[in-house]
Amino acid sequence: MKSTKDLKGSFIEILRKDNFRKILQLIQDKGWHIHFSIVQILYYGFVDIVDSIDGLDVDLLFAFKAELYKVLKKDPNTTVSIFKKYKYPNVATKDINNFLSEILTLIESVITEDAKRFIINPFLLVLKSCIEKAKEQKELTFIQNETTHEWVGEFEQFYKQQILNFPKKTLVFDEEKQVMNQIAEENIIINGKTLNNYSFKESESDAMIQVCDYVVSILRKYIIFLDRLESEVDADIQNFDENQMNNYKLLNRILAASLDYNPLFVHFVASQHTVAKYHMYIKKYGKIE
């Protein structure tokens, strides 16, 4: 089975696929668990803005990052044009005021829309106030003196994190030439011992890598499905037909079992709103009936 051919369409559409059920049923029958990392690229690329603002409550940083992410992804074309204009993440010191002013315009637009629906978002209001004060900062530490237009850097750090988290496990990754070369340039060491608990294999020659590739495609579309308003997600779930609902519950049972087996099997670099929905639906639909 090839995910590129079999999993065309949205998450709602692939829930109807017979192979969707078969692959998950195989995983459940074998007692396998799913070990994965989810990185929302836009979120990952934007959060340095929040980290560069002085005076933010550290305990609320993830809430502020989630709110800014919602604002900036609302109109991607406008966001991209602003970032290109100011050579993000290499914003010049002379442009700090203007750059943050354009971000504030986007935030104010969302606040105005919320007000029309009688919604007040205190996190967004506080974030707006802090960004206004940040216009007076001499520097924005994490979005200056970086490579122009390179929003997201290298990904080998996510591989290294898994290697370090599971030094006594045997890890097998799908071949990624760039990542392989980057990891090979630097020894990964714990307590003076170089770790060699990992390898890379071609998907064409390894059946388990093919299974993983299929599951990754499912999870990618599932996270996109969750990355919306909770009311929209709930409405779609309520409209699932019997086949879709059975497959959705099967997916959540497997995700719940994996999380229960080892919480470190799930790693998110994503909006806390998306992560919260992931866990909420596991609790609601992942129970064994």
207: part of which helix (H) or strand (E)?
Answer: helix 207-226
Bridging pattern class, strands 189-190 and 193-194: antiparallel
Rounded to an integer, the average pLDDT of 226-249 is 97
Residue 18 neighbours by CB under 8 Å, 6+ apart: none
pLDDT in tens, 62-107: 999 999 999 999 999 999 999 999 999 999 999 999 999 999 999 9
Position 28 scores a pLDDT of: 96
Task: Give me the chain's average pLDDT, please.
Answer: 93
**Residue in this structure with the two tokens 């609902």, named with its chain if needed:** 245
The answer to whether residue 236 scores a pLDDT higher than 70 is yes
The answer to whether residue 135 scores a pLDDT higher than 80 is yes
Q: Which of 41, 62, 34, 43 is nearest to 266 (CA)?
A: 34
At 279, the amino acid letter reads H
Q: How many CB atoms lie within 10 A of CB 189?
A: 10
Q: Could you give the C-alpha distances from 187 to 24, 162, 245, in angstroms and in order?
A: 36, 14, 46
Nearest 10 degrees: Cα torsion 170, 171, 174, 177: -100
Residue 37 and residue 137: Cα distance in Å, rounded? 35
Residues in the chain: 289
Token couple for 277: 């929905």
238: left (phi > 0), else alpha (psi -120 to 50), else beta? Answer: alpha
**Residue in this structure with the two tokens 């670099």, named with its chain if needed:** 269
Cβ atoms of 41 and 274 within 8 Å: the answer is no
Residue 65 and residue 44: Cα distance in Å, rounded? 10
209 vs 248, residue with greater confidence: 248
The answer to whether residue 206 scores a pLDDT higher than 90 is no
pLDDT in tens, 219-229: 999 999 999 99
The answer to whether residue 4 scores a pLDDT higher than 80 is no
- CA angle (64, 270, 174) in 5-degree steps: 160
At 29, the amino acid letter reads D
Confidence of residue 1 (pLDDT cuts 50, 70, 90): low
pLDDT in tens, 21-32: 999 999 999 999
Position 189 scores a pLDDT of: 87
Cβ atoms of 179 and 155 within 8 Å: the answer is yes
Confidence of residue 287 (pLDDT cuts 50, 70, 90): confident
- CA angle (185, 190, 192) in 5-degree steps: 90
The answer to whether residue 183 scores a pLDDT higher than 80 is yes
6 vs 38, residue with greater confidence: 38
117 vs 2, residue with greater confidence: 117
Percent of the chain's residues with pLDDT above 90: 79
pLDDT in tens, 58-70: 999 999 999 999 9
Percent of the chain's residues with pLDDT above 70: 98
